[in-house]
Chain A
Amino acid sequence: MSTVKTPRPVIQVSGIRKTYGRTVAVDEVSFEVNDGEIFGLIGPNGAGKTTTMECVEGIRKPDRGTISVLGLDPFREVYQLQERIGVQLQQAQLQKRIKVWEAVDLWASLYRKKSVDGERLLEQLGLVDKRDAWFMNLSGGQKQRLFIALALINDPEVVFLDELTTGLDPQARRAIWELVRGIRERGKTVFLTTHLMEEAERLCDRVAIIEHGRIIDIDTPQRLVDRHCPERIVVLATADSAAEERFRAIPRIESVVRSDLQFTIRGRGDDLVTEVIHCLSENRIRVTDFRMIVPNLEDVFLKLTGRSIRD
């Protein structure tokens, strides 16, 4: 995960606000993205993720607040910035009948500095046998891989990925995650948005949770879970009639719910599991099932916003 070096912010966003007519899309949004990390902006659809990202990319101008990317003002110095960043936009398309190699070739010609080898890029992204295919005939995963190729063609310092895996099947999604990790391995900074908590959890070094245009909390996925969802749940099954009473005697237990032979034991902190196992062995309780439920970002989101991200 994070290496031991002092974080150097490459993106600094401070107090931005953006309205469309009377709708406030984002408000008081501030965060920093550090050099070499994968930073995720997570939240449900319509939370303000894309608006925030497009302000940082220089595509939109915030009504208020300041943004600095690689020391540049993304709106006033947008052309300088575009030389140094790579962008994948949400739901973007290309010309239906443009060939894969033509798109890569066009993109490569747009930058002042020498681009990376397009053919090698296609190879790395598994698109070599599609180089003569029309854009319209690519699968969803292939299109996204092409967009990643276009975002990397100028060897950018920061890569922006907006809802990269939306609409992809799980297998294609996993393949894309590997590619994104590969981008970080090359020393680049990745700023992504997603409404998939699993994606954020597996991919991001740090995440910012955004809802209704405001950032609720920022940290590593693990620390967010520890902070907001310290409760642990053990589910086990036993025929031992004395078990329920023993479980209730475990220190710092919050609740024991029994349903037939199955018990759901809730408590706080990482020690809960040890305590339960200890109790089982001490009392020689024979169990036929033992599972623990560890909260994840999904639960953090539910806790912070009072609703599921899927709603």
Chain B
Amino acid sequence: MMMRGLWKLTWIEIKVFMREPLGAFGTIGFPVLVFLIVGRSAGRNIPATSLAANSFLRVGLPVLASLLIAVSSVLSLVTIISIYREGGILKRLRATPLRPQTILTAQVVVKLILTVSTLALMLLAGKRYYPVNVHVPLFGFTIALVISTLSILSIGFLIASIVPTARFAQPIGAAILYPMIAVSGLFTPVSSMPPVLQAIARVLPITYAVSLMEGIWKGDAWSAHIGDVAALAVVFFVCTALSAKVFRWE
């Protein structure tokens, strides 16, 4: 069987991750905390009647938090892959009947599970403590987040293939991914950016992730976002194909 050992490996990876001192909090707790703290202070300081504040609280902040969830999953993936490579863990796993794709798929599944459970936690906490009521198509939004995460994960794999040592993995990953959020259209709409930034935003995958998540959060139909999904899919396939070529196991 191709995927022999996948579920056992995935389950072990989840357990190993939860045993990390900062693993659970850093990846699950942090985005939720940012979401709640910023939400509360924004809800208190800006008059609820302000249109901008309302739209930020209703759409911008939840999408930003979701994006942070995805990015922190990806950074954690990049770090883990490079630590496993440096420690010879990848090589050790490979010298078993485990298929290479099984070893890497387990990591992706762990990160997706993590992303979705963080989202669930955020929504649960939001229901109680968030200053405005939001009604979102939950299932659709979860799918949108999963698609976005998968696409960003593939960039993460490419970064993990290239970074020389585990020590550089996290900073290099952060230096590539966080600026993408800045020009993603989350803070300023892409159409009102200077032409150069617009051009940059158009080639960065996170822009499409933001557009997709914002749209679905607001209740758009999927048909309105086929372009976003297609762009994210292209990024996924290109990055996966590239990393399959350059990925180093040791």
> Which A residues fall within an 8 A CB radius of B?
57, 59, 79, 82-83, 87, 89, 91-98, 102, 105-107, 109-112, 134
Contact = CB atoms under 8 A, between A and B. Distances in A.
Contact of B88 (A83, A93, A97, A107): A93
B4 interface: yes
Given A92-B91, A93-B89, A95-B16, A79 B97 contact: yes
B9 A106 contact: yes
Interface string B4-32: 11001100110110011000000000000
B202 interface: no
Contact of B15 (A87, A91, A93, A102): A102
Nearest to A97: B19
Contact of B89 (A83, A92, A106): A92
Contact of A110 (B5, B13, B16, B84): B5
13 contacts: A57-B95, A79-B99, A82-B97, A92-B87, A92-B91, A93-B89, A102-B15, A106-B5, A106-B8, A106-B12, A110-B4, A110-B97, A112-B4
B218 interface: no
Nearest to A93: B87
Interface string B94-108: 111111000000000
Contacts of A97: 15-16, 19-20
Contacts of A95: 12-13, 16, 84, 89
Contacts of A111: 97
Contacts of B12: 95, 98, 102, 106
Contacts of A105: 8
A110 B96 contact: yes
Interface in B215-236: none
B196 to A, nearest CB: 41
Contacts of B9: 106
Interface residues of B, number: 22
Contacts, number: 60
Contacts of A106: 5, 8-9, 12
B92 interface: yes
Interface string B119-158: 0000000000000000000000000000000000000000
Contacts of B8: 105-106, 109
A112 B9 CA distance: 16
A89 B95 CA distance: 9
Contacts of B98: 110
B87 A82 contact: no
A82 B88 contact: no
A112 B97 contact: yes
A25 to B, nearest CB: 14
Contacts of B99: 79
A155 to B, nearest CB: 14
Contact of A107 (B19, B89, B94, B96): B96
A134 B89 contact: no
B99 to A, nearest CB: 8
Nearest to B23: A97
A82 B96 contact: yes
Contacts of A98: 12, 16
B91 A89 contact: yes
B19 to A, nearest CB: 4
A187 to B, nearest CB: 22
A191 B99 CA distance: 24
